[in-house]
Amino acid sequence: MKRTIAIVCGGDTSEFQVSLRSAQGIYSFIDKEKYTLYIVEMHGLDWHVQLPDGGKAPIDRNDFSFQMNGRKVTFDFAYITIHGTPGEDGRLQGYFDLLHIPYSCCGVLAAALTYDKFACNQYLKVFGVRIAESLVLRQGQSISDEDVIEKIGLPCFIKPSLGGSSFGVTKVKTKEQIQPAIVKAFDEAQEVLIEAYMEGTEVTCGCYKTKEKSVVFPITEVVTENEFFDYDAKYNGQVSEITPARLSDDLTHRIQTLTSAIYDILGASGIIRVDYIITAGDKVNLLEVNTTPGMTATSFIPQQVRAAGLDIKDVMTDIIENQF
């Protein structure tokens, strides 16, 4: 008998539309001969499932079920592809834990930690991972232009410490840009990260592990003519993504080994993606860890799966079956 899978998307941040696109990607990747799939869309308290006839049915939040043709349908597994709250920060994971419904990604602690870029990077720094100089502002806090310049320097990045997809991110080059950038970042999240700029090559590496195996994907090199890898670069094609990256065998091995180690340090589950900047002297610097990476047609993970000579359907099956 086929297991019934919920592909859970939507959420309550600016990444809502990106999440819907990821859900369509995952729907196309999962083997429909093995699983019965439904897309579940969440926005605030509006939780509904997309029905085969094009209609919608409300989700009963008491047990994460819905009614179809007069019968109750429950789920065996949830593939979470919400980028942002409540699916990337541990909240939805806690809900599914209470209902004993297995899911695709990190548990509550790892999800909450990695969702906060500042907290995650500072935590990994203790284990010897190189990171940029940074500081964090929380809602209600402020900082002078002079303190930013003295402590972090210019240029720098000012961005939400929570979330992704480059919403609310500014590359700040002048003193006059600092305060508007902070306001812009606070419009997206309650914490703002001010981070030193690092000149170098941006790369990203995906990884997943099961009870039987550890898989680290080929590395992707990110080349954009934009100021940084912003939303247009990510989703509107203003970027060159080279997989495998043009790196030496030694540097490739170091990055893949570090990615695997970060996975274990965090106690990750499912697929993660780790972004880095390689600076002068082949120094590998962590940018951020993404435990719910994008899975659209143009996303990094599907590219890396293909470059590894793997079938994305097999990878999806690994993720699902590892929870049973």
Positions marked active-site = 15, 165, 299
**Around Cβ 122, how many Cβ atoms within 10 Å?**
14
Rounded to whole angstroms, the Cα distance separating 298 from 306 reads 12
10, β-bridge pairs? 42
DSSP states along 171-237 = EE-SGGGHHHHHHHHHTT-SEEEEEE---SEEEEEEEEE-SS-EEEPPPEEEE-SSSSS-HHHHHSS
HSE, side-chain direction, 13 A CA sphere, residue 43: 9
List the Cα angle 254/259/261 in 5-degree steps: 95
The size of the chain, in residues, is 324
Rounded to whole angstroms, the Cα distance separating 119 from 99 reads 28
DSSP 102: -
Q: Binding site annotation covers 288? A: yes
Binding site residues for Mg(2+), as ranges? 275, 288, 290
Binding site residues, as ranges? 275, 288, 290
